[in-house]
Amino acid sequence: MASKVIHAIYNDDDVLLLAVKQVREARYHIGEIYTPFPVHGLDKAMGLAPTRLAITSFLYGVVGFVVSIWMMNFMMIEDWPQDIGGKPSFSFLQNMPAFVPIMFELTVFFAAHLMVITFYMRSKLWPFKTAENPDVRTTDDKFLMEVDAANLNVDDLSDFLYKTGASEIKIIDNK
Amino acid sequence: MYTLSSKLKLTAIIFVIVGAIGLVIGFLQAPSDLDDVREMMAAEEHHADPAESTMVEADFAKAEHGMLLDDEPGRNVEEKEDQAAEAGSHDTEHLEHKLHQLQNKPWAAVYVAAFFFFMISLGVLAFYAVQYAAQAGWSPVLFRVMEAITAYLVPGGIILFVLLVLSGMHMNHLFIWMDPEVVENDAIIRNKSSYLNLPFFLIRAAIYLGGWFIFRHFLVRNSRRLDEASDNYYFKKNFKLAAGFLVFFIVSESMMSWDWIMSLDPHWFSTLFGWYVFASLFVSGITVIALISIYLKSRGYLPFVNDSHIHDLAKFMFGMSIFWTYLWFSQFMLIWYSNIPEEVVYFISRIENYSLPFFGMVGLNFIFPLLMLMNSDYKRVNWFVVLTGIVILVGHYVNVFVMIMPSTVGESWFIGLPEISAVLLFAGLFIFVVFNALTKAPLLAKRNPFIKESEHFHY
């Protein structure tokens, strides 16, 4: 695939956002952007498809809710009914108020943990993975935009990127 | 500048007139003595099956009681005579009870509706003060709408105060602790009488209302003066005023909820009641801001309000609905679990006689907004917000209903002429006052230091 890319480094997230808009208007292709923190509105500026993570989160929450109902019904009603504070222990519905905190917590637990795991999987992150980050400074205070340069005039492209406010430009030839 | 359309004005006036007529009929229909109640109950029994079944049950219990005593025939005769006499006196006692409840009914209907619309404008005032105290950048384009809604605070508050005074003059029996005969025979109320006595009660009400009126007056006045000012002096002043108001508000609101609602059940207490009422008034207020903003926008009056502002209001509606549910359930669960008689009566009377509104409002106030407004995109769809908003308002009316009715009319409740008329009357008054107040100032608070940020606000 396209092997030649340009790494343009920006110092400020607002400059980066404006640059992204200009680069896309000029019909250059942005491969990836590395930032030290989430930049609000960057996904829209880059034209990325809206995330479906929220939908998965909702579904995981529903799963957690159902699991909690099944779990509490099995533990407290079917398997080992106990008399706690004289509350009716033979009917799920009559004992339900006591289970609401558990239902709530398990809904949140499932939604949050499974969503994070899904996010890791979609981002191809796992323990001991070597970082894909091309420049360690993007973990501190620099913003890096990776632009495809294959079959393009590299000089024109770097001039253009300088004009958008890039502080540093590197041509990477990946062979 | 907004001009009140004659159509809206006419609607408001029709609401007021129809509501007033309905209420007068409601008051006239209330029974005036025991014979009326007897007639009403006789009429009811003809077409009410559930009442019959309870009668049968009661008969069965009496029969059982008789059977147990059958081994002593001599005493049994005596017993039977006693029983008959007791049943007679019990019957009139029951009728008197019913009479008081039915006499209370139109008063309670007025009180519920008056409080409901008052609490909307109070909630908006609190929300408005929060915006100033937090120096929020997104909301200044909505300030004039909020200010207009708080205009209802003054007439609404005065009406409520008059209602409280009328209760104090024994025009009705909403607050049983105001009846000296009841207090005399009730040790629990007697012990509370240093707090729950009429003069102190009215003084407190005057302090809360006066405080809110004064804060509202100065907050709005400074906001209007800021339009003409050349510096941010009035903004800074409002910042301090809003912070002061919030301190005063959270204490006075809490005490107001004990006085005006919780004292209807003078034996019962709940430590989070103030928060519970606060959640209800806050979410209703925010919902009304959203509804009125969307209405004005649809008429072309608020070109600077964009979908992101509606989105933010919808987020508040969503979040505060969950907050209300959290408090509703927290109050319920602790009392249900500990099952202490003096606490649990509150929920027993609600679950036995008000099961549908008591549990139904969780659907209206929690499940419906939760599912409708969960998706981020739906919060920007105006008709979604309007639909959810109407359901939330109905739900919180029911919430106030369930807070007030069980202790004033007991099991003799139904949503009839006085309830609907009272809502119409106060809705008409509310619409008239609020939209009239909107005409008093430009719809954009143009000198607010955050107005640029607010106009450009986007999500």
Q: For B303-348, write each residue's pLDDT tens digit.
A: 999 999 999 999 999 999 999 999 999 999 999 998 898 899 999 9
pLDDT at A5: 87
Share above pLDDT 70 across residues of chain B, in percent, rounded to a whole number: 90
Exposure of B260 in the CB half-sphere (CA atoms within 13 A): 31
A100 shares contact with chain B (CB less than 8 Å):
yes
Q: Cβ separation of A97 and B339 shorter than 8 Å?
A: no
Specify the amino acid at residue A51.
Answer: T
Q: Cβ separation of B374 and A86 shorter than 8 Å?
A: no
Write the DSSP string, B114-172.
Answer: HHHHHHHHHHHHHHHHHHHHTT-SS-GGGHHHHHHHHTTHHHHHHHHHHHHHHHHTTSS
The confidence band for B85, taking pLDDT boundaries of 50, 70 and 90, is low
Q: Measured between alpha carbons, how far is B422 from B166 in angstroms, rounded to an integer? A: 17
The confidence band for A175, taking pLDDT boundaries of 50, 70 and 90, is low
Q: Nearest-CA neighbor of B297 among B449, B144, B428, B431?
A: B144
Question: Nearest by CB to B332, which of A54, A58, A97?
Answer: A97
Tokens of B280: 């209800």
B57 has pLDDT over 60: no
Q: Measured between alpha carbons, how far is B308 from B245 in angstroms, rounded to an integer? A: 28
pLDDT at B52: 44
Mean pLDDT of A22-42: 90
pLDDT at B75: 44
Identify all chain A residues contacting B336, using CB atoms and an 8 Å cutoff: 97
pLDDT at B82: 54
Mean pLDDT of B431-439: 94
Q: Let me know: does B273 contact B258? Beta carbons within 8 Å.
A: yes
Q: Is residue B40 part of a domain?
A: no
Q: Is residue B36 part of a domain?
A: no
Interface with A, mutate which of B308, B328, B337 (most A CBs under 10 A): B337
Share above pLDDT 90 across residues of chain A, in percent, rounded to a whole number: 47
Top pLDDT among B210 and A88 is at B210
Identify all chain B residues contacting A14, using CB atoms and an 8 Å cutoff: none
Q: How many domains does chain B have?
A: 1
The confidence band for B216, taking pLDDT boundaries of 50, 70 and 90, is very high
Q: Nearest-CA neighbor of B245 among B218, B222, B269?
A: B218
Q: How far is B190 from chain A (nearest CA, A)?
A: 32
Q: Nearest-CA neighbor of B19 among B420, B414, B433?
A: B420
The confidence band for B150, taking pLDDT boundaries of 50, 70 and 90, is very high
pLDDT at B360: 95
B362 has pLDDT over 60: yes
Q: Is residue B437 part of a domain?
A: yes
What's the Rg (C-alpha) of chain A? 25
Q: Range with the lowest mean pLDDT among B49-58, B116-125, B340-349, B399-408? A: B49-58
Q: Is residue B79 part of a domain?
A: no
Q: Is residue B81 part of a domain?
A: no
pLDDT at B3: 87
The number of C-beta contacts closer than 8 angstroms across A and B is 18
Q: Range with the lowest mean pLDDT among A136-150, B33-47, B164-178, B388-402? A: B33-47
Q: Is residue B58 part of a domain?
A: no
A86 shares contact with chain B (CB less than 8 Å):
yes
Q: Measured between alpha carbons, how far is A8 from A166 in angstroms, rounded to an integer? A: 6
Residue B10 Cα to chain centre, angstroms: 26
Q: Let me know: does A162 contact A28? Beta carbons within 8 Å.
A: no
pLDDT at B435: 95
Identify all chain B residues contacting A54, using CB atoms and an 8 Å cutoff: 375-376
Identify all chain A residues contacting B327, using CB atoms and an 8 Å cutoff: none
Question: Nearest by CB to B333, which of A54, A86, A97?
Answer: A97
The confidence band for B45, taking pLDDT boundaries of 50, 70 and 90, is low
Whole-model pTM: value is 0.85
The confidence band for B70, taking pLDDT boundaries of 50, 70 and 90, is very low
Q: Range with the lowest mean pLDDT among A80-94, B152-166, B316-330? A: A80-94
Question: Nearest by CB to A98, which of B337, B374, B375?
Answer: B337
Q: Is residue B70 part of a domain?
A: no
Identify all chain A residues contacting B337, using CB atoms and an 8 Å cutoff: 85, 87, 97-98
pLDDT at A3: 73
Q: Let me know: does A5 contact A31? Beta carbons within 8 Å.
A: yes
Q: Measured between alpha carbons, how far is B325 from B320 in angstroms, rounded to an integer? A: 8
Write the DSSP string, B351-420.
Answer: HHHSHHHHHHHHIIIIIHHHHHH-STGGGG-HHHHHHHHHHHHHHHHHHHHHHHHHHHTTT-----HHHH
Q: Cβ separation of A87 and B333 shorter than 8 Å?
A: no
Q: What is the pLDDT of residues B258-303, one digit of tens each?
A: 999 999 999 999 999 999 999 999 999 999 999 999 999 999 999 9
DSSP character at residue A124: T
Identify all chain A residues contacting B329, using CB atoms and an 8 Å cutoff: 97, 100
Residue of A nearest to B377 (CA): A50
Q: How far is A84 from chain B (nearest CA, A)?
A: 10
Q: Is residue B20 part of a domain?
A: no
Q: Is B441 left (phi over 0), alpha (psi -120 to 50) or beta?
A: beta
Specify the amino acid at residue B132.
Answer: Y
Q: Measured between alpha carbons, how far is B124 from B147 in angstroms, rounded to an integer? A: 8
Q: Cβ separation of B333 and A85 shorter than 8 Å?
A: no
The confidence band for B63, taking pLDDT boundaries of 50, 70 and 90, is very low
* Unique residue bearing structure tokens 């809490």: B254
Q: Cβ separation of A97 and B374 shorter than 8 Å?
A: no
Alpha helices in A38-153 (DSSP H): 42-46, 53-72, 92-122
Q: How far is B267 from chain A (nearest CA, A)?
A: 24
Q: What percent helix, strand, coil does chain B show, rounded to 5?
A: 80, 0, 20
Residue of A nearest to B459 (CA): A41
Top pLDDT among B142 and A154 is at B142
Q: Nearest-CA neighbor of B261 among B248, B277, B272?
A: B277
Tokens of B197: 């006595």
Specify the amino acid at residue B421.
Answer: S
The confidence band for B431, taking pLDDT boundaries of 50, 70 and 90, is very high
Identify all chain B residues contacting A85, using CB atoms and an 8 Å cutoff: 337-339
Q: Which domain holds residue B362?
A: 104-455
Identify all chain B residues contacting A86, using CB atoms and an 8 Å cutoff: 339
Q: How far is A156 from chain B (nearest CA, A)?
A: 34
B84 has pLDDT over 80: no
Top pLDDT among A153 and B344 is at B344
Q: Measured between alpha carbons, how far is B82 from B13 in angstroms, rounded to an integer? A: 58
B71 has pLDDT over 60: no
B78 has pLDDT over 60: no
Phi first, then psi, for residue A71 (nearest 5°) are -65, -50
- Taking each helix axis from N to C end, the angle separating B73-133 and B153-168, rounded to the nearest 10 degrees, works out to 150
